[in-house]
Amino acid sequence: MEKVFVFGHKNPDTDSITAAISYAYLKEQLGMNVEAVRLGTVTGETAYALEHFGFEVPRLIEKAATEVGRVILVDHNEKQQSVDDIEDVQIIEVIDHHRIANFETSDPLYYRAEPVGCTATIVKKLYKENGIEIPKNIAGLMLSAIISDSLLFQSPTFTEEDRLAADELALICETDPLVYGLEMLKAGTDLSGKSLEDLIALDAKEFMIDEIKIEIAQVNAVDVESIMSQQGELEDLIYRVIAEKGLGLFLFVVTDIIHNDSTFLALGKEAERASSAFNVALSNNRGMLKGIVSRKMQIVPVLTEALK
């Protein structure tokens, strides 16, 4: 049987990497010839989770069609987030928890999306539906994904289904989520070896709001000030990105994973409008978002409303 690739989005986070591994394992048990691969560098957080539960980092690919004819997407569906030659392969399955956009197939497929906080929560259900037992180390990966996407169960994207999944997975992998989770998240905030260019690109996503192109980069941190103290150099780099991409706004969000607040740097023509959308007065291009940790649920919708 010809091999099928399973992969998450570009700039992969822990959910994208671990969902590929855990869903690939399930498909293997069901008799499919699959390989979990990745579309970018893994974060320190993901590397910590993989090592903790005894997994290798999946192989990096730049093209899919040179090796396979069919692929399975996890944790994404929008073409611009997927492998560059996605148009040249057949998408046979999608397992995801995002909105559906810029996605089209010519054939029927298996598509499973649920409005939950994490792809792992859906993959866990699929093990159950298919009657396949979840191995201890795979359960650990899935738990890591839920911890990551929910910022240790704090994010408003975290649903009751995610909670139930996390509880059950914690039992299977015999891991205390609060102790392990904080260590894992901290590993993700270790920015040694990361340049400031890396910081503003690592977890950056572009959005179009009406005719305005905006980019929001998010970094998790324990010590927010150690990043923000380099504001001058960050601004130099961000202004360069704004000019190159023709952005109306670049929002650099540093999320304090201990206190669950975010500090932001807003640059570009729409910076004032953006910060007033959050009832925050910009001071030296900076602002503070009390209790805000989720780009998807707490930042993008507010900006969408304000900028259109």
Minimal distance, residue 104 CB to a copy of itself, in Å:
5
Residue count (the chain)? 308
Q: What angle is formed at CA 171 by the lines to CA 134 and CA 110, rounded to 5 degrees?
A: 35
Task: Select 16 or 189, whichever has its Cβ closest to a copy of itself.
Answer: 16
Q: Which residues bind a copy of itself (CB under 8 A)?
A: 97-115, 129, 304
Which residues touch 274 (CB under 8 Å, ≥6 apart)? 249, 251, 266, 303, 306, 307
Q: Exposed/middle/buried for 257, CB within 10 Å: 0-12, 13-18, 19+?
A: buried
Minimal distance, residue 181 CB to a copy of itself, in Å:
23
Task: Select 105 or 230, whichever has its Cβ closest to a copy of itself.
Answer: 105
Task: Select 118 or 257, whichever has its Cβ closest to a copy of itself.
Answer: 118
Minimal distance, residue 301 CB to a copy of itself, in Å:
9
The CA-atom distances, in angstroms, between 286 and each of 110, 229, 240, 275 are 45, 12, 18, 9
Task: Select 95 or 138, whichever has its Cβ closest to a copy of itself.
Answer: 95
The CA-atom distances, in angstroms, between 127 and each of 97, 142, 162, 198 are 17, 12, 15, 36
Minimal distance, residue 129 CB to a copy of itself, in Å:
6
Task: Select 107 or 244, whichever has its Cβ closest to a copy of itself.
Answer: 107
Minimal distance, residue 8 CB to a copy of itself, in Å:
16
